[in-house]
Amino acid sequence: MRTVIRDTTIVSADAGRTVHHDATLVIEDDRIVAVDPTNQAENPAGTDVIDGRGKAVLPGLSNCHTHLHLTHSRGIQEDFGFPSTLRFPATVAAFMSQEEVAVFAALGAIEAIRSGTTGLIEIGFDVPSYAAVIVGSGLRLVLAQSCSDVVGDAVASSAMFSPARTDASLQRVAEMIERWHGAEGGRITCCVAAHAPEACSPDLLHAARALAESRRTRYTIHLCQSRWEIEQVMQRRGVRPTEYLFQNDFLGPDLIAAHCRFMAPSEVALLGQSRAFVSHNAAMAARRAAAPPVQALAAAGCTIAMGSDNMAEDMVEVMRTGLFMERVARQDAESPQPEDVLEWAARNGARALGHGQIAGSLEVGKKADLFIVDARRPNLVPTVRIVSAFVHNGQAADVEAVMVDGRWLMRDRKVLTLDENDIVTRAEAIGQRVWRQLVEKYPDVPFPIPLPRGGAV
């Protein structure tokens, strides 16, 4: 199948940050075969020719830290900090079947597609139960089954670690890698996800990295995401979280460290020396009133990528929030530039997920992982500098088409790989039900939100 997008703006996001105007992008099957600034590409019979006037083509965005299934808590948990100040002894997921959790994972996948995401890492303790559903979305996925060997509560005074749980947890990871790594022609890969420093023993950290290296996958961990985490690790281990990982040989160039919000200079230096990737989850960090030291991490040697984390999958919002937060942090109205942030979310993100050779930029030989923006939307005109216009003012609604592996996941703003109406309808009904059930089961737990009664809003 040959697809040609003619007379368009092509944001290559290559090393030179080249933008081609009035150019043609040629796709053969799943690969980009030409970036033609002269619009002379031939269109043999059977070519799908797209009029790209008034549009811009950008490389797909990579979400390097997310939990699709946690869309079930959107609208509530964004406003109660981390760890949550809502003291329910269970989550709403306890009131759902596996099929219902999969509905929310699919809901997150739809939002991801609609915001120009083509690749993401899905992290959770029960990813195998809904993997097939999100694989059907057509996204380029990294499936990351979480592992932890803490027994009971992770509070320092009572936490214990079980060798049996270490083995069982890692066995689940290995089984998922065996099932999914390299599936769908390589579109699906896997990652080893150690949950967090306070929830992982030294034995688990060593074994998790060894498993990743033996299977040639990335590995990831939540790191310095809260002051609570730092307190727990220091009480139990006597050092800060990144120092604890360093002591147990967990830092390295295949590590994706998520969050990194509350880091001491010594931790920045250690992580930078290891050449780890950092997933800057800007929108969630802002909601949690925190920010990682991005400039220091990059200067130390880390590669900055981006992620959405919980409850939301809009990578357009993530980019803009990241730009704004970092300018405030630096007290610099000109740094970073929008092109820097696009690099974090596209080129660096693809590298972090292990897709750097095939995705993250629009160059000949790379996979056709891209999205098309309607550049004639009022919020983007005039388009004299489309990257700046889109990062500063873009919306997910500006994205009209998304392609992965040369296959349209969304076209003319219609998602083609998942039944959006059905998923939204089911998610609304499930979400209304389970939040009422949670509150009703624990009436003595303070909950300041009056829930709607009798169905959807």
**366-376 per-position pLDDT tens digit:** 999 999 999 99
**126-155 per-position pLDDT tens digit:** 999 999 999 999 999 999 999 999 997 554
What CATH number labels 61-352? Answer: 3.20.20.140
How much is the average pLDDT of 391-408?
Answer: 98
- Which of 148, 153, 255, 228 shows the shortest CA–CA distance to 194? 148
Residue 44: band (very low, low, confident or very high) from pLDDT cuts 50, 70, 90: confident
Rounded mean pLDDT of the chain?
96
Residue 40: band (very low, low, confident or very high) from pLDDT cuts 50, 70, 90: confident
Residue 454: band (very low, low, confident or very high) from pLDDT cuts 50, 70, 90: low
User: Which DSSP state fits 285?
Assistant: H
pLDDT of residue 455: 57
CATH class of 2-59+363-415: mainly beta
SS3 190: strand
Q: What is the C-alpha separation between 104 and 384, in angstroms, rounded?
A: 39
How much is the average pLDDT of 61-76?
Answer: 97
**pLDDT exceeds cutoff 70 at 402:** yes
**276-321 per-position pLDDT tens digit:** 999 999 999 999 999 999 999 999 999 999 999 999 999 999 999 9
pLDDT of residue 158: 59
How much is the average pLDDT of 402-417?
Answer: 98
- Report field, pTM of the whole predicted structure over 0.85: yes
Provide the 10 A C-beta neighbour count for residue 237.
17
Residue for token pair 């979480």: 146
- Which of 120, 8, 2, 116 shows the shortest CA–CA distance to 59? 116
Residue 381: band (very low, low, confident or very high) from pLDDT cuts 50, 70, 90: very high
Provide the 10 A C-beta neighbour count for residue 11.
24
- Which of 21, 63, 58, 25 shows the shortest CA–CA distance to 41? 25
Strand residue runs (E) in 162-242: 188-194, 218-223
Show me where the domains of the chain are located.
2-59+363-415, 61-352
**2-36 per-position pLDDT tens digit:** 999 999 999 999 999 999 999 999 999 999 999 99
Percent of the chain exceeding pLDDT 90 equals 94
Percent of the chain exceeding pLDDT 70 equals 98
pLDDT of residue 152: 72
